[in-house]
Amino acid sequence: MIDIVDSSTRSRMMAGIRGRNTKPELLIRSLLHRKGFRFRLHAKDLPGKPDIVLPKYRSVIFIHGCFWHGHHNCHLFRLPATRTEFWQEKICRNQANDARAIDLLLASNWRVCIVWECSIRGAKKDPEKVVSTIADWLAGDEQFLEIRDTPIDR
């Protein structure tokens, strides 16, 4: 399939995609704040620069876009038909970086939560329920939590 825009337009469009302060991230931050949680953002001193850091709970939250982080078996992830090799390498590199950051954080006794975009995006989704799940996790002692819309296949 041929791209419907020229390469300079596509480049400008891709450059406009944000890596932080995305809509899903802003939504989760707003709901957490409303529930009384206080946090830091994008801590450069932690592996992977987590989107949300809750020092009081020694916990971090990553909010992953299903496309950029290659969410397996997700309706929001589809490998592009053009430049497939480039996108496959990029997404695999992102996944490797994610795994490395999570391993380093867990080894440093940080608790890690991953919220996938598909769990909060869509008309029938309930972001309040996702934040309640996060709040319950913060009150508990589990080291790792992954919130996704698709079933986990392990």
Q: What is the CATH number of the domain that holds 27?
A: 3.40.960.10
pLDDT of residue 11: 65
Q: Is residue 137 part of a domain?
A: yes
Q: Is residue 1 part of a domain?
A: no
SS3 60: strand
Q: Is residue 4 part of a domain?
A: no
pLDDT of residue 153: 46
Q: Is residue 11 part of a domain?
A: no
pLDDT of residue 150: 57
Cβ-based neighbours of 88, under 8 Å, separated by 6 or more: 79
Domain holding 57, by residue range, is 19-147
Rounded-to-integer distance, Cα 140 and Cα 93, Å? 32
pLDDT means per 10 residues in the chain (154 residues)?
67 64 92 97 95 97 94 88 90 96 98 95 85 97 90 46
| Total domains in the fold of the chain | 1
Q: pTM of whole model > 0.75?
A: yes
pLDDT of residue 63: 95
